[in-house]
Chain A
Amino acid sequence: MKKLLAMGLLSVLLLVSGCPDTTSHSQGVYMLLDSSGTYKKEIKRAQAIINYLLGTLQPGDSFAVARIDSASFSEKDIIAKMTFDRRPSMTNQQKRLFKQKVDEFVAKVRGSAYTDITGGVLQAVEYLNETGAGRKHILIFSDLKEDLVKGQVRDFPIQVSECKVVALNVTKLRTDNIDPREYYKRVDQWKERVEAGGGHWRVVNDLERLESILAD
């Protein structure tokens, strides 16, 4: 009887330890900040969004903030990146450090001459795949107007499968006011690219409702 009981307990233990939950419940968020000359003044708003995200993300989640400049497909453009610890107390410390890095960047940000959004998105996909997060979000804080250096090749399909791409604060340019179709065309082009790459596209312009950014 005792042997049977011991075996039963052992099998339960093996079952629990041997069959772990393989589904990842963590989130990965990669935020791209447009630092081009026309968009630099919006950076304070981006800072508020980052602070909101830092308050929302949970232990075990990954978060990275990178700038969009002339050549964004590079680790050098990552301002801060962190996978938060499983313990809440450590996570809080990491979040403080993250905020400090972002604050430093905002204080001395310089406008870039060109805007390579595609490169930034590719870098984001690479980072998010490495984190192994269950839910992946790419946040693009930009007017979505891509301005590439001569010779850069970016007109190819991008693979953003299982990623939710959210365009934040897509401001209307002066030319958009002359012909609003320009704005819609720009947004639709990005939507097509993202959806063709297996991702989900959403635009959030109302920054009063930040909770909708990571909503499923």
Chain B
Amino acid sequence: MSLPEILIIWPGSPVLSLIIEFVIAILLLYLARGPAHKAIYSLSAIIHSGLRLMARSVLLGEKRVVERNKEVLLATGAKAAERLIEREFYRVDAVVKRDMSGYPALQHKLGDQIARIDEDYRESTEVPVPSPDWVKAVDTLAKLPSKGDSWIANILGEIHKTAQAQYKNTMEEYRKAVSVRHSLLEKMMPYWRKLSQTLDQVDKTIIGLHERSKVIDNRMAEYEDIRNQSDKAVRMMTSSAMTQFFISALVLLIAIGGAVINFNLIALPMSEMVGGGSYIGNFKTSNIAALVIILVEVAMGLYLMESLRITHLFPVIGHMDDKMRTRMIWVTFAILLVLAGVESALAFMRDRIAADMQALRHTLATMETAQPVGSWIPTVGQMVMGFILPFALTFVAIPLESFVQSSRTVFGSAVASLLRLIAFALRLLGNVVRYMGEFLVNLYDLLIFPPLWLENLLRNKEQHAEVSDIIVKEEVS
């Protein structure tokens, strides 16, 4: 390794030249020590302040994102709670309409039953006609002593007989009356039972309504929490959104698997319709056609679910009047049915083409022509799959809606976390730059340590001399 010509100060001695240059450099650095320190400090301060400012801006952005996430979450939660409460009210309405609409008839029925029971009761409580008042007088006379007079005894005996006969008649009448009363009471029994059953029915309805009202109370409490923007509600909804996101993503993956199978089922026969050798871009037209059919099926499924008000992705459909919505249901269902039929036919065609290709390959391989299995099960299986898969894909709308709604929260949280991380990294970098400035200053001093050491030595001597002078002066004084 040789030193460049320009650096050789002492000709013929590069080492000496280097030493001289080193000494000059140290001297120059020593002389520029103050401004150099200031430059390093100011540079590190500029970078540190800039990075801190950036971190602050990022944190402000993160705060905005968090606020927006909270707003979105609360709005979604409030909407969901409103829907739940609305549904509960619909249920209550249905119960009231079903059970309480018959209430006037029920009241009439109850009044009727009570009137009958009352009537029967009145009839059953009527006492038999009391025995005439003279019976007591006759009874008293009959009990008088005869005192041996046979004539009086005969009269009294006759009176006694008459009284006895009257008593018998009265008792018989009384028994008859009791019997009638018992029969009336017996007739009252079914009315009592009916009345009891009617009241049980009313009781059940009332209990059901009571339970519904409790559910509504709970939902209302949740709704109030959301309206009050409480942390508890936000935490609960965030957790719920995360769960919804992963579950819906899983279901969507399953649906994509179904769509891929569906695609493979119809891609080959589509080449028979649109041509196997034509391309759009780098993709086969038959593949694109198959994909379009599947996407149209998914779109029709979405519209059907919207029209049925199961999902709420398109407010336009949800706000349609019932007549138009019903028409839309039938139209989308009809299109789906036609597409399912087309797919079933394509699946059949695929089976035939695949069998023909297999036969050709056998011929080309100069093998013995394989006997076809002759089973209709794979053909029918493919046709059934081709028919069912479009309808199965219809239900993709439900997880898709959950995914779209929950992804807003999940991605919002992810962006907020990312911004927090960036802010942390910027602050860390700012501090590193700041301490790096101090490190560079120390390194600078380390490079010029010989003159610094000399300076310290001289300064110490001066200080020592000054101190000695002060002491001498003090001693003299």
Contact = CB atoms under 8 A, between A and B. Distances in A.
Interface of A: 21, 23, 25-26, 51-52, 54-55, 58-61, 84, 86-89, 91-92, 95-96, 99
B279 interface: yes
Contacts of B361: 55
Contacts of B281: 21
Interface in B153-179: none
A2 to B, nearest CB: 15
Contacts, number: 58
A59 B275 contact: yes
Contacts of A58: 276-277
Contacts of A51: 364-366
B279 A25 contact: yes
Nearest to B365: A51
B280 interface: yes
A95 B364 CA distance: 9
B276 A55 contact: no
A86 B360 contact: no
Contacts of A89: 272, 353, 356
A26 B364 contact: no
Contacts of B278: 60, 86
A60 B275 contact: yes
Interface of B: 268, 271-272, 275-282, 353, 356-357, 360-361, 363-366
B277 to A, nearest CB: 2
Contacts of B277: 25-26, 58-61, 84, 86
B357 A92 contact: yes
Nearest to B272: A87
B280 A21 contact: yes
A84 to B, nearest CB: 8
Given A21-B280, A23-B279, A55-B364, 7 more contacts: A26-B277, A51-B364, A55-B360, A58-B276, A87-B276, A88-B272, A89-B356
Given A54-B364, A55-B361, A87-B271, A92 B356 contact: yes
Contacts of A87: 271-272, 275-276
Nearest to B284: A25
A25 B276 CA distance: 11
A88 B364 contact: no
Nearest to A61: B277
Contacts of A26: 277
B159 to A, nearest CB: 116
Contacts of A86: 271, 275-278
A151 B280 CA distance: 50
B276 A91 contact: yes
A23 B277 CA distance: 12
A95 B360 contact: yes
B274 to A, nearest CB: 8
30 contacts: A23-B279, A25-B279, A25-B282, A26-B277, A52-B364, A55-B360, A55-B361, A55-B364, A58-B276, A58-B277, A59-B271, A60-B275, A60-B276, A84-B277, A86-B271, A86-B275, A86-B276, A87-B272, A87-B275, A87-B276, A88-B268, A88-B271, A88-B276, A88-B353, A88-B357, A92-B357, A92-B360, A96-B360, A96-B363, A99-B364
